[in-house]
Amino acid sequence: MPVFKPVVITTTFPNQEEADKTGTLLLEKQLAACIQYETIQSQYLWEGKLCRDSEIRMLIKTARCHYAAIEKLIIQNHSYDCPQIIMQPVARGFKPYLKWLKQHTGL
């Protein structure tokens, strides 16, 4: 069994429907223990143009060993050509929460 290393993966979606579909798949496959959604405004450069859009930011609470599977699932269900997928390690956290996170990621 892999060593449990908690992480948070951040991605964005163009709408809530696409975010919900992906989040549900992640939870059903036990690749994540918790998904959070936020409506945000993003400003960025794309193909030489300055863009501004409303997006849904998804925070995925999971284990590092699931990153490759999560990335693959996001790409398969995403409408963007180049979605943001960023993993950040969790250096410390409330022990009971981290225990819950571990239990709900199939580890």
Which domains occur in the chain, in start order? 12-82 (3.30.70.120)
- Secondary structure string (H, E, C) spanning 15-55: CHHHHHHHHHHHHHCCCCCEEEEEEEEEEEEECCEEEEEEE
* 22, 74 Cβ separation under 8 angstroms: yes
Q: What is the pLDDT along the chain (107 residues), one digit of tens a residue?
A: 678 999 999 999 999 999 999 999 999 999 999 999 999 999 999 999 999 999 999 999 999 999 999 999 999 999 999 999 999 999 999 999 999 999 999 87
Query: DSSP 3-state assignment of 62?
Result: strand
